[in-house]
Amino acid sequence: YAEISKLLDKIRSVGMGGISADDDLAVEKLTKKLEGLESLQATMKAVNAYFRKHKTLDGCPELTPEQAEKLKADMAQSWHLDKSKPYPAYLLSNNNANIRRVRQRIEELSSRSEFAGWTFPGGEAKINEAENRLQLIFEEKPDANQRQELKSNGFKWAPSQGAWQRQLNQNAIRAAARIDFLRPEDGTSPYQLQPFVKRENKEMSR
């Protein structure tokens, strides 16, 4: 019981910043944490059910003989108020809260955008996931040559959005990267700023 309590305290921070969102393996690490938490929850429930049925921990398949003896000793302590179950309800409740927290973090990280916007001289490239569009917003109207280049690369003027735009996908990013006046001030290619490109580059360097 004491060992599991320490374990729960240790993993309580999971999903609250314990694993950085910038970590490429964040989802994988959190998934392993989740599996451990779910396994722990199942074990505690099974042990409680066995004790409720047999009124003893002897022969419990989820526990080694040593674990059973230690748990029986813990149950005999004065601080273990509920003698009807080896694992108190609050312990399962806390672990279940951690499970929900980790699941939510996994969902958040799994749904992160594959695309990132950027600023360029005189405007901004915006990722509009709600409209599924890469939008180019200019401080001033592009000149005739710029407008022609935008059209040649598949961008269309959308008065309702106040932006030049095209469907959001990797081809849209590549098209924008071909247009010099859409580059950030430092000259970086917008394509190299994208999360999916950074991830691919890291995987290739392994």
Q: What is the dihedral of CA 80, 81, 82, 83, to 10 degrees?
A: 70
8 Å CB contact between 131 and 119:
no
CA within 13 Å, CB half, 18: 17
Task: Give dist(CA 168, CA 16) in Å, integer.
Answer: 31
Using a CB cutoff of 8 Å and minimum separation of 24, what contacts does 52-56 make?
52/84, 52/85
Closest CA to 158 of 181, 138, 180, 143: 138
pLDDT at 84: 86
List pLDDT tens digits, range 58-75: 999 999 999 899 889 888
pTM over 0.85: no
Write out the two tokens for 60. Answer: 């419990």
pLDDT at 15: 42
List pLDDT tens digits, range 103-141: 888 876 765 567 889 999 999 999 998 888 999 999 999
8 Å CB contact between 151 and 123:
no
Which residues are CB-contacts of 107 (< 8 A; sequence separation ≥ 6)?
A: none
Q: Is 73 helix (H, G, I), strand (E, B) or coil?
A: helix
Name the most confidently modeled range: 1-10, 30-39, 82-91, 154-163.
154-163
